Structure 1
Amino acid sequence: MHSKSSEFSVVPQGPGSCQEKAFTDHYQVLKDIGHGAYGQVILARHLHTGAEVAVKVLPRSMSENLVHSEILAMKTLNHPNVIQLFQVIETHKQIYIVMEYGVGGSLFDFIPPGGMREEEARRLFRQIASAVCYCHKMHILHRDLKPKNIVLDARGNIRIVDFGFSIMFKPGQKLTEFCGTLDYLAPECVREEVHEGPPVDSWSLGVILYFMLTGHRPFRAASMKGLMWKILHPKLKFPWRVSAKAKRLIKKILTVDPRARLSAEEILADPWLNQGEEKLPSHDVPFPNLSDPTVLTMLFDMGYDPYSTWVSLSQRKFDGAMASYLIIQRQISQGAGCIKPGRRDPSIFPALPQRRASKPALHTFPLPCEHHQPQEAKESGQKSFRRASWPAIRLRFLHEKPPTPRLASQHHSVFDSPEPCPSTTDSHVSQDATTGHPQGHRKGWKRVRQRIAACLRRLCCCTPLCVGEIEVATPGEQKPARFTNRVVPT
């Protein structure tokens, strides 16, 4: 039987060991926040957004099965009460698993000595059971559920963390491996019997609920042998303040026979857990929207190439671009309103235009040409960023229809088409993708840039701030630019 506290040990190296360039190019190490059986957990700051993230640092010498199993589980799961994976960085020495940071600390530290109020325990336990039920529906077992592997976010909601012992399973599959923490381990694992996985997680849920309501674990002994005996012959005692319905639920969960034990889905349907609560949301949570135009606009502002970003998101690479996307999306969903950058080096990452607190966020695009680049940015070699008064431009990419290069229809964008498209983050343009003649392509784009610049000058001087889609006439056509007026808050 594997136990995190006894079988494996890793010498803590501290945050100073995370100095590999592949990691420090994207994150600033802040402090060490914990050590697991296999590695350390550090608090870091994402340089592009200023968001604090938790990073699990694992040595490459670890078993590949354990590492890949944890990463696969986190990539597969998407639930509001399961910790979100942002990025995976692999080097020759270490593997960095970058994830959401539970700023509220662990549930273990949140439970007072005498236990929580029943109303609060019910609210949090509903979230825990909902997340475990979702994991089982996705055919993933956690196998180490305990209060220290459950954290709270800034709003006091639950996140299940540490999928180091998790595995994928098939319905009805029999398991022979035993792992976890003994205090929360099911009797069939203590007896080292062949067993099914979901009832093992359910048993851990019962121990957690007992702990939340009483402030201590249901099975305590001076020795490991004594603790195992009590798990195999449970005699539950409850303080007077625990309600009869809560006692009944715990007894149904902490049943020695796994066939009679409540499943996570049955736990969610229990009357005590649904007392005074609205109907639980569906456990089949869709994956996050990876084509949010607001987030994509902000990534464009940061200098991310649109096509590379689209490939990263569509293939779910969990690389730097996808990490920035998911972090920004989470900040917006939590009501951040805008990115709050941390320490930045202005020469590397120029700050976005500031706004007053009373105004909504303004998400901007960098200009596609050099004509409006600030003089100081040109001198320092920085990428161009438009001022808040400049209108947003959505550039269209070339449609493959020779012989004359034409702009794509307004119903298509870089994130709709699987075809490669030229980058708009650089001041130059790559070879013509349709004709294969770089010289003719450069001349065509030169005319496009000149017309856009002329439109911008007229717009900035004569009209209110607006954002729209521009149709640019191709050579030989007399078609003026058309703007669809949509007011952008400033």
Structure 2
Amino acid sequence: MDTQRQKFEREYRVGKLLEKGGFGTIFWGLRIQDELSVAIKHVPKEKINHWITYEGERVPMEVCALRKVSKIPGCITILDHFVCNDCVIIVMEKPDPVMDLFDYIDEQRTLNETLAREFFIQILETSLQCYTAGIIHRDIKDENILVNLKSHSLKLIDFRTATFLKDDMYYEFSGTRICAPPEWIRLGCYHGKRANVWCLGVLLYVMLCGEWPFKKDEEIICAGLDLCPRLTNECRDLLKKCLSVHPAERPTIEDILKHPWITEQKEPPTGDAPVCRPCIMCKRSAELK
């Protein structure tokens, strides 16, 4: 008898499908007690590679990570979890109205520097708070960030690849290959915080330029940035520092928060600013000169 599943079915009602992928399935749902809207994630046990004992219970690392970051405003909040016979069910808050940053950028085409800065600072601060909680996300990208359409506040989601933060090297890569740092591609190891700064640099580039800075392993290893001319010098400098091929040359998050591009306060742009879509035209123009 699956007592955990029975307990879940007594407490929650499953609604429409929201997302389905290799990781599992996410449904909209209701908590029966107060009719609170929730997101319900079903993960088959065979898809879970990392289990850990947390507060006396054997749970996936994802559940442990979510519990540890649960008080961080910039992280999605876990409400409940159930370890069933065939799967693990994770119940989380369902903010509304939200859109993931991937779709948000696609709709906007690119973000101006003012808005990109606002978003980037939030993710930097959330990353630092995760460090304090002893967790590193390892897959910060636009698809794993929710944008509140009213307040512009962000929520970091999908902690499948998260693990405990440590000072030693990591020898397994968990995340999106296109966001992998060059040291992992070349050497098969990386330092967590320095790799995270690389990932944050990729995110900033995507927000500003609407495309990935690198698409192949060879491009990642070389880290040759083709930056759009419309970006300010301070912005270009920060991107180059975060996406340095040498890990030791990348700034810490604390350093990034002190960078001139982050600390400068500019008035929001008025009118419709010209938009590069998505830096490809700049590249083509340069090639024709």
- TM-score, normalized by the shorter chain, greater than 0.5: yes
Q: 1:74 aligns with which of 63, 66, 69?
A: 66
Identity of aligned residues (%): 29
> Matched residue of 1:179: which SS?
coil
1:205-262 CA deviation, whole Å, 9 max, x = no partner? 0000000011111113xxxxxx000001122122232211111111110011111111
What are the residue-to-residue correspondences of 1:246-395 with 2, within 5 Å? Answer: 246-276=235-265
1:86 is matched with 79
Inter-CA distance 30–213: structure 2 relative to 1 (3 Å threshold): same
Equivalent residues of 1:32, 1:42 under 8 A apart: yes
Which of structure 1's runs of 4+ aligned residues deviate more than 4 A? none
Question: 1:41, 1:192 → 2: CA distance?
Answer: 35
Inter-CA distance 56–231: structure 2 relative to 1 (3 Å threshold): same
Q: Are 1:141 and 2:133 counterparts?
A: no
1:407-437 CA deviation, whole Å, 9 max, x = no partner? xxxxxxxxxxxxxxxxxxxxxxxxxxxxxxx
1:115 is matched with 110
Question: 1:181, 1:47 → 2: CA distance?
Answer: 36
Q: Are 1:25 and 2:30 counterparts?
A: no
2:154 is matched with 158
Question: 2:148, 2:91 → 1: CA distance?
Answer: 16
Question: 1:122, 1:206 → 2: CA distance?
Answer: 12
Please list every run of 5 or more consecutive structure 2 residues that lacks an aligned counterpart in the other structure: 52-58, 267-289
1:335-366 CA deviation, whole Å, 9 max, x = no partner? xxxxxxxxxxxxxxxxxxxxxxxxxxxxxxxx
1:9 is matched with none
How far apart are residue 48 of structure 1 and its match? Answer: 2.2
Equivalent residues of 1:22, 1:91 under 8 A apart: no
What are the residue-to-residue correspondences of 1:32-71 with 2, within 5 Å? Answer: 32-63=17-48, 65-66=50-51, 68-71=60-63
What are the residue-to-residue correspondences of 1:444-459 with 2, within 5 Å? Answer: none
Question: 1:153, 1:98 → 2: CA distance?
Answer: 20
Structure with greater helix percent: 2
Total equivalences in the alignment: 251
1:244 is matched with 233
Question: 2:110, 2:225 → 1: CA distance?
Answer: 16
Q: Are 1:100 and 2:89 counterparts?
A: no
Inter-CA distance 36–263: structure 2 relative to 1 (3 Å threshold): farther
Question: 1:188, 1:136 → 2: CA distance?
Answer: 21
1:132 is matched with 127
Question: 1:41, 1:203 → 2: CA distance?
Answer: 29
Question: 2:36, 2:75 → 1: CA distance?
Answer: 18
Question: 2:258, 2:162 → 1: CA distance?
Answer: 25
Q: 1:198 aligns with which of 182, 189, 193?
A: 193
1:181-223 CA deviation, whole Å, 9 max, x = no partner? 1111111111243321111111110000000011111113xxx
> Matched residue of 1:255: which SS?
coil
How far apart are residue 180 of structure 1 and its match? Answer: 1.3
1:246-285 CA deviation, whole Å, 9 max, x = no partner? 11111110011111111222222222112228xxxxxxxx
Question: 1:69, 1:216 → 2: CA distance?
Answer: 31
1:218 is matched with 213
Equivalent residues of 1:184, 1:204 under 8 A apart: yes
Equivalent residues of 2:110, 2:209 under 8 A apart: yes
2:163 is matched with 167
Inter-CA distance 135–241: structure 2 relative to 1 (3 Å threshold): same
Structure with greater strand percent: 2
Equivalent residues of 2:172, 2:188 under 8 A apart: no
How far apart are residue 156 of structure 1 and its match? Answer: 2.6
Q: 2:221 aligns with which of 232, 246, 269?
A: 232
RMSD between superposed Cα atoms in Å: 1.9
> Matched residue of 1:235: which SS?
coil
Q: Which one-letter code corresponds to 1:82 in the other structure? A: C
1:25-51 CA deviation, whole Å, 9 max, x = no partner? 222222111124321111112222222
- TM-score by length of structure 2 reads 0.81
> Matched residue of 2:102: which SS?
helix
2:276 is matched with none
Inter-CA distance 238–194: structure 2 relative to 1 (3 Å threshold): closer
How far apart are residue 24 of structure 1 and its match? Answer: 2.6
How far apart are residue 59 of structure 1 and its match? Answer: 1.7
> Matched residue of 1:273: which SS?
helix
Please list every run of 5 or more consecutive structure 1 residues that lacks an aligned counterpart in the other structure: 1-19, 221-226, 278-490
1:292 is matched with none
1:56-100 CA deviation, whole Å, 9 max, x = no partner? 111233446255211111111121111111111222222111112
- TM-score by length of structure 1 reads 0.49
> Matched residue of 2:42: which SS?
strand
Q: Which one-letter code corresponds to 1:75 in the other structure? A: R
Question: 1:239, 1:114 → 2: CA distance?
Answer: 14
Question: 1:234, 1:194 → 2: CA distance?
Answer: 17
> Matched residue of 2:249: which SS?
coil
Inter-CA distance 35–200: structure 2 relative to 1 (3 Å threshold): farther
Question: 1:192, 1:270 → 2: CA distance?
Answer: 30
Q: Which one-letter code corresponds to 1:233 in the other structure? A: C
Q: Which one-letter code corresponds to 1:74 in the other structure? A: L
